[in-house]
Structure 1
């Protein structure tokens, strides 16, 4: 099946998936049913969150008639799982109760035959890197990647002795519990980093960070001003013409380019219009971009433009300001705009009707309170904030690396499990060959029963025809 699993542990064997599980196509017609806003969720792999829950707020809804039609073909049971067959391939997901939803045409429903396998053996094997490699090798690619139901049914499944299956599944679940606890602990780190950043900014604009510096420079004072007092001109909105899907001379930033609080040059669209070289729309290094419209948590988000001169224009949902550098450091204003106090000011003064994103206008931005020390103290504040933020960035990089390693760890656990390296083997276990022989015998019995039933049906049919004659 894969170069990674060419040799099975002693006592194991191979068998086709169709022997140990029912692979069901939820919607054989492959036609997407019409949407029904008050209907039932229509679940596909794309509706699964990273934490392996269903995002019911995002799912498409279909009518109850579609659910009833599906229930004529299959009944969901505990332990059933789906497997992506079109677009997103694989990604097995165990279906949660209650089963008040139906399944997308882009997935296959897999129902393990529990008399033949330990519960969840098939689920974990289908999540393993060996299946990922198998799909990558055998999937077809046209406009979308696909792995049809026939291929799924013929997928080779590694079978261990029943008792060994139980030990392996138990060990996988024990280790999964540990990795889940580690993941939950890691998930708190970004929020802690954000809180630390805000604590640093609050301390900076209370004057706490530079208290020692002021003791050595007692004659300095802070001034209470507004943003309008320290910028060259009034804030100006950008421009958002219709984008095109081919390269042009003009690149227009999208809102995502500044949502993180830093400038991200990869987020732009091309526009097919001539923009005068002298237009205010062209960005200059050191410009500060402010999001004048976004969700309440992001309205007012700022970023310093550090790209090339006249490489980008900015959209209508942003304003641009340029600070008077003789009065104030660019970085200081950006940090002040990023502080919790300023964020709360923007939230309080944002306007918008129901269903629309909140907006802040030019006057609100101009009236933003700013507390400004002398230039020398500003330099000290900016330097200290940057030192703290560099330490926080380092923590977040380590956090991201830890998350990636944790995801790799889950795959490593499954790889070791199905190479027979996760738990010790017991020589007293009944070998898989005996189980496989029992499976074949049971399957043969079922097939013989079907053939007998068909012959009986034919004889009855013939008798009826003779009587009619």
Structure 2
């Protein structure tokens, strides 16, 4: 740890708070109007409370930890998610959340910010135990390093960090709006391009209304030819053999079985005997995710055999370019049409193939399709650049937040005052109070009867 300023002391979390001491409460002893906090209610990294639900809303069956207003609520399960908040009112929480109560002279917000430092996150990542659901053990939590400032300096640091955090939160809020705006613009531009508004804006319009129970009107220039999805492509469903033939390693005579999830990740590679494969796709083939959520994903980029959750759209190249079909299938109007009419009896949404093939489309001549594709390509490339800049800005904001916390806990964020009582004296007082106060009385002070 970097050398600390005069008046500070390097100590441990367990020396400052009673880490691991909790008051258990059974569901039968919780009032209907009490706040019940679960880990899922806390957003990772940002310490944003996503929802606040009462016992009457949740009706939990398991034992809980009781906490008071001002307690620090620290998520010990999967501690790398950095789930920690300050309680604004009393309540109960999951036993995977530890209420930490600060003694007199230690500002709760100071410890709260200490738990959000990169140094602390690196530590808990190294010492947690458990593979699938890692937890921070009690002894490891107590041993975590904590730079402790004098009480008055803690207050100055907290005031400064609160102010900077407000600005950071505002910047993050504005950044979080960008992906939604990008998606809205993509849909609006695509609808305009597929309606002729980009290349034939001045031409007289014609319309078509799909046979559905809601108001949906498709617009296009009168020169465009009215067809249906069935006229411009052939939809070929997938196939797969029994799961007993599946293998997670590629072997001679095997081929990859492509599933919807494979377009996002290679974590679940599956292979089947090539002799049992019936449907194949190449990287440039247009694939449709048949089931959801979300349904009707338009995908491409993989090759192999494809399973029953996928369909392949084979273009009728006499009337449509493959690339134009790729974007036409992403039409916002088509997605709405498919979503509303594609409900399965089992409760999972799925594409109704016969219904899909009836959807009316207006198609320009192939030369105009190329002009539209040029516009779409440049618009999407521009939006992709904005998306990349947004990702970089988010990463920089996170680095800035951590840089500020690092300065704060090196004693570089606010000036020191030589008149402040040293933190060593505060620490001695905390230790003395634990020695002189019987454990039973400490429990009573916390309400642990």
Whether 1:127 and 2:116 are equivalent positions in the alignment is yes
User: Within 2, Cα distance between the matches of 1:23 and 1:64?
Assistant: 25
After alignment, is 418-427 or 237-246 more displaced? Answer: 237-246
User: Within 1, Cα distance between the matches of 2:314 and 2:201?
Assistant: 31
Q: Which residue number corresponds to residue 287 of structure 2?
A: 289
Q: Is the 8 A contact 2:35 2:90 kept in 1?
A: no
Give the direction of change, closer, same or farther, for the CA distance of 1:288–1:92 in structure 2 (3 Å limit): closer
* Correspondence for 1:427 among 412, 415, 418: 418
Q: Is the 8 A contact 2:68 2:87 kept in 1?
A: no
SS in 2 for 1:208: coil
- Aligned residue pairs, count: 410
SS in 2 for 1:157: strand
Q: Is the 8 A contact 2:79 2:125 kept in 1?
A: no
Q: Which residue number corresponds to residue 392 of structure 1?
A: 383
SS in 2 for 1:228: helix
Q: Which residue number corresponds to residue 266 of structure 1?
A: 266
User: Within 1, Cα distance between the matches of 2:321 and 2:61?
Assistant: 64
- Over residues 261-315 of structure 1, what are the superposed CA-to-partner deviations in whole Å (9 max), with x where a residue is unaligned? xx547365414444457x3x111243221222223xx322222x333xxx42222
Give the direction of change, closer, same or farther, for the CA distance of 1:208–1:420 in structure 2 (3 Å limit): same
SS in 2 for 1:120: helix
Report the Cα offset of residue 146 of structure 1: 4.7
Alignment of 1:299-314 (within 5 A): 299-303=295-299, 305-307=300-302, 311-314=303-306
Report the Cα offset of residue 144 of structure 1: 6.1
User: Within 2, Cα distance between the matches of 1:287 and 1:99?
Assistant: 57
* Correspondence for 1:49 among 19, 43, 50: 43
Q: Which residue number corresponds to residue 5 of structure 2?
A: 9
Give the direction of change, closer, same or farther, for the CA distance of 1:121–1:411 in structure 2 (3 Å limit): same
Alignment of 1:94-109 (within 5 A): 94=85, 96=87, 101-104=92-95, 106-109=96-99
Alignment of 1:36-435 (within 5 A): 45=39, 48-50=42-44, 51=46, 52-53=48-49, 66-67=62-63, 70=64, 75-85=66-76, 87-89=78-80, 91-94=82-85, 96=87, 101-104=92-95, 106-113=96-103, 115-139=104-128, 145-211=134-200, 221-231=223-233, 233-239=234-240, 241-242=242-243, 244=246, 246-248=248-250, 249-257=254-262, 263-264=263-264, 266=266, 268-276=268-276, 279=278, 281-295=279-293, 298-303=294-299, 305-307=300-302, 311-353=303-345, 356-435=347-426
Give the direction of change, closer, same or farther, for the CA distance of 1:377–1:23 in structure 2 (3 Å limit): same
Report the Cα offset of residue 356 of structure 1: 0.8
Give the direction of change, closer, same or farther, for the CA distance of 1:394–1:439 in structure 2 (3 Å limit): same
Q: Is the 8 A contact 1:286 1:322 kept in 2?
A: no
User: Within 2, Cα distance between the matches of 1:315 and 1:448?
Assistant: 63
Q: Is the 8 A contact 1:242 1:271 kept in 2?
A: no
After alignment, is 356-365 or 330-339 more displaced? Answer: 356-365
Superposed CA RMSD: 3.6
Provide the TM-score with structure 2 as the length reference: 0.79
Structure 1 unaligned blocks of 5 or more: 258-262, 451-469
Structure 2 unaligned blocks of 5 or more: 205-220, 442-449
User: Within 2, Cα distance between the matches of 1:449 and 1:251?
Assistant: 64
User: Within 2, Cα distance between the matches of 1:361 and 1:123?
Assistant: 52
Q: Is the 8 A contact 1:88 1:145 kept in 2?
A: yes
User: Within 2, Cα distance between the matches of 1:246 and 1:372?
Assistant: 43
Report the Cα offset of residue 370 of structure 1: 1.8
- Over residues 362-386 of structure 1, what are the superposed CA-to-partner deviations in whole Å (9 max), with x where a residue is unaligned? 2122212221111111111011101
User: Within 1, Cα distance between the matches of 2:395 and 2:289?
Assistant: 32
Give the direction of change, closer, same or farther, for the CA distance of 1:16–1:302 in structure 2 (3 Å limit): closer
* Correspondence for 2:436 among 445, 452, 457: 445
Q: Is the 8 A contact 1:46 1:88 kept in 2?
A: no
Q: Is the 8 A contact 2:19 2:138 kept in 1?
A: yes
User: Within 2, Cα distance between the matches of 1:449 and 1:336?
Assistant: 71
Report the Cα offset of residue 172 of structure 1: 0.7
User: Within 1, Cα distance between the matches of 2:286 and 2:97?
Assistant: 47
Which structure has the larger Rg over C-alpha atoms? 1
Q: Is the 8 A contact 2:76 2:97 kept in 1?
A: yes
Report the Cα offset of residue 135 of structure 1: 3.0
